[in-house]
Amino acid sequence: MAQPLVKKDDDRDDEADYSPFLGIEKGAVLQEARVFNDPQLDPRRCSQVITKLLYLLNQGETFTKVEATEVFFAVTKLFQSKDIGLRRMVYVMIKELSPSADEVIIVTSSLMKDMTSKTDMYRANAIRVLCRITDGTLLTQIERYLKQAIVDKNPVVASAALVSGIHLLQTNPEIVKRWSNEVQEAVQSRAALVQFHALALLHQIRQNDRLAVNKLVSSLTKGSVRSPLAQCLLIRYTSQVIRESANNNQAGDRPFYDFLEGCLRHKAEMVIFEAARAITELNGVTSRELTPAITVLQLFLSSSKPVLRFAAVRTLNKVAMTHPMAVTNCNIDMESLISDQNRSIATLAITTLLKTGNESSVDRLMKQITNFMSDIADEFKIVVVEAIRSLCLKFPLKHRSLMNFLSNILREEGGFEYKKAIVDSIVILIRDIPEAKESGLLHLCEFIEDCEFTYLSAQILHFLGIEGPKTSDPSKYIRYIYNRVHLENATVRAGAVSTLAKFGAMVDTLKPRVFVLLRRCLFDNDDEVRDRATLYLNTLGGDGAVVETGEDVKEFLFGSLDIPLVNLENSLKNYEPSEEAFDINSVPKEVKTQPLAEKKAPGKKPTGLGAPPAGPPSTVDAYEKLLSSIPEFANFGKLFKSSAPVELTEAETEYAVNVVKHIFDGHVVFQYNCTNTIPEQLLENVTVIVDASEAEEFAEVASKPLRSLPYDSPGQTFVAFEKPEGVPAIGKFSNMLRFIVKEVDPSTGEAEDDGVEDEYQLEELEVVAADYMLKVGVSNFRNAWETMDADCERVDEYGLGPRESLAEAVNAVINLLGMQPCEGTEVVPNNSRSHTCLLSGVYIGNVKVLVRLQFGLDGPKDVAMKLAVRSEDEAVSDAIHEIVASG
């Protein structure tokens, strides 16, 4: 009896795996398309071939112009068939092929005939196709039919016309706007879909007129909308009006709030949810306004429909970020969702509970989550880990149970991203909660005993080398570190050697033991490990006696490399062995990046010194060499910084000009890189007339004109300004290109003797505070910060006002200061309400500067910032604060 049953199951599996499009080829299908030309059409066969063609098109297969034209003309012959199913396939095929203007004429008459057909399905589909493939000329011819279709009694036809209107509004807005009366009438339709599409089109027609949108919302909120879909749209438009009126008028009650609250009692669930979500997303929403929305969402949490439970818990999750206390009443309902079959719902429920729970509920939550973690995918686990990290920072006293939880899941199965999220969380907790340091380091040590990811092992060893020597008993970590030398790959072994050396340098009593261990590493089979062991043995002091390690050794082991590795690599590649040793001080400290503005049209891009030469070192060297060779600028001193080229002309113009700002201690030189893109012209005596009336602290002292500028041969002209020494003077400069034009004979290439004086207006140029800062990173910000003199620290708080997001505020401050972000802190995690950004740089006068920025949302959109600056000069720390205050 069992055998036939198994056979049936196998057959069913085979059927499930079979695809009718398996092995389909374009050439074979095009051959099959000849069936369209048969005198006796087979509708079923033709429909199958069209289906295959549509499949190929949707899979990204491209048809050549000839192939597409042949298929199109063959398909048009199918209008002869009276088969309704085939006719619908023909409509779809024409729409997908999108015939060219000269081909559209072939089907226009057939489609217009179908538009006035008695068969409603023909009319609706013909309207959709015609509006997709038509141009403005044909549209005026069929406009009358489209207006009639909008108010047609058949809802399918009316919807087709309205949807076509929505698409046409992008290309022919002036025609569609003339249909307002018909669309207004369609908004009152009893058909749900017609009302929905009509409202969408009417709003799009009026969307640029705020007063008209207000009137539309005001008239419809009185109760004329019956369609649930249209009601959802209306709620969104109402939210938009509330937002805009709140921006213009801060005082007074919200207009239309009563309408949103009334929608919470609608019979359609989608309308109820849309209204609840709209209320929770209102700017500066109060607890009183939130209460009815939260109550409705709480009811949805116990719904039998998974989609409603998911929608409710996702919305509550967002509300918990700004109003955690308002969501607390839903915690009991959400706890029951932890065991929900849908793991997305369960994950959202857990993360919401972690945001809203109080200190007393933490232990209970941890027990529930432990059982849950094994059932969900890594991407969900990462969300939970991040929520637990936030909870631990919120309730530091609970760090022990939360850290134990993180260490337990760290030892379970999981992918790299998941394990990295846990390690990152433990590292952050160790840094921010001093009491968690020792237990956290031990958890990390236990993890690397059985860690399969080289990157994580190396990261943990590096962190252990920084934090381990500062603990009460550093010796207990040595065993874990030295085990890595025996049991791991070369990369991890090299990291372990460096970590051992740091323990030896920082803990003098451990130096003899570390010395013995490092000696054993001299016989490793990897040269990197051997070289590191040799280097550290010599650095630590030869015999490893119990003596205090010098500050220079600690600086070598723990200090940051203040030059970018990419610059060091390029300098080493360019270094040619000679009697003169390689000097690390010759490596430039600023990373030069190719700006997007440099990507001009071929043949118009300035070359030579007009664009940065390949490799950062040569750029700085070449600029310095060039400027020092010009007598007018030779006494300006050492070049501090050269900016990336700034475009002063649009692409595709007669003359391409960009400018490089060269910053000296008491001067600024503008290097204008010019390219003549007109073959029939020769430009002579080319200069840039600079108006510095909006740059009061600058005085022009010299200019160097360009004698000749032939076609497509870039050249430079210079203008120099004097400014107060060591002061970050800023200002705006307007520029006018002035030259003599001479006509060139294309056949001989000779220019005429006489020329005409002409000018060409260029874009304005600004010297900003960031021009006085070099981007110089540090490899270990924390150590660099601690070694900087705390007496030169300046701290203050600033309100940055309303911002689109926290990330936008962070980028704005980084760009304002022109400093190098450290340790990836320029990236703001999604949905984060606070963020710390670390910046490093060298200020004019070669003064090292470190900045710690702490951002936080002060309300729904307002961003507050705490700025801490440390530098080698108090005046520079004050100057950074002045830049932020005035920026």
Q: Which residue has the higher pLDDT, 600 or 624?
A: 624
Average of per-residue pLDDT values in the chain:
82
Give backbone dihedrals phi and psi of 330, rounded to 5 degrees, phi first: -90, 0
> Count of CB atoms within 10 A of residue 59's CB?
10
What average pLDDT score do residues 68-92 get?
86
* pLDDT tens column, 692-707: 888 888 999 989 998 8
Which of 153, 183, 189, 156 minimizes the C-alpha distance to 168? 183
E strands, 216-342, are: none
Under the banding of pLDDT at 50, 70 and 90, the label for residue 248 is low
Residue 673 identity: N
* pLDDT tens column, 723-745: 888 778 889 999 999 999 988 87
* pLDDT tens column, 11-27: 444 444 556 777 788 88
* Homologous superfamily in CATH for domain 771-886: TATA-Binding Protein (3.30.310.10)
What pLDDT is recorded for position 557? 66
Beta-bridge mates of residue 743: 681
Every domain of the chain and the residues it spans: 453-558, 596-767, 771-886
What pLDDT is recorded for position 554? 67
> Strand 756-761 and strand 765-767: pairing?
unpaired
Q: Is 549 helix (H, G, I), strand (E, B) or coil?
A: coil
Do the domains at 596-767 and 771-886 have one common CATH topology? no
Lowest mean pLDDT among 1-10, 286-295, 364-373, 807-816: 1-10
What average pLDDT score do residues 375-403 get?
78
Under the banding of pLDDT at 50, 70 and 90, the label for residue 545 is low
Specify whether the CB–CB gap between 381 and 405 falls below 8 A.
no
* pLDDT tens column, 344-359: 888 888 888 877 766 6
Q: Which residue has the higher pLDDT, 136 or 616?
A: 136
Is 0.75 surpassed by the pTM of this model?
Answer: no
What pLDDT is recorded for position 717? 93
What pLDDT is recorded for position 216? 87
Beta-bridge mates of residue 733: 765
Specify whether the CB–CB gap between 872 and 848 falls below 8 A.
yes
What pLDDT is recorded for position 285? 80
The CATH architecture that domain 596-767 belongs to is Sandwich (2.60)
Give backbone dihedrals phi and psi of 812, rounded to 5 degrees, phi first: -65, -45
pLDDT of 303 > 80? The answer is yes
What pLDDT is recorded for position 559? 66
Specify whether the CB–CB gap between 735 and 764 falls below 8 A.
yes
Query: Cα dist. 317→275, 312, 328, 834 in Å?
Result: 17, 9, 11, 17
What pLDDT is recorded for position 250? 46
Q: How far is CA 545 from the centre of its chain?
A: 53
What pLDDT is recorded for position 687? 93
Q: CA-based angle 13:18:19, to the nearest 5?
A: 150
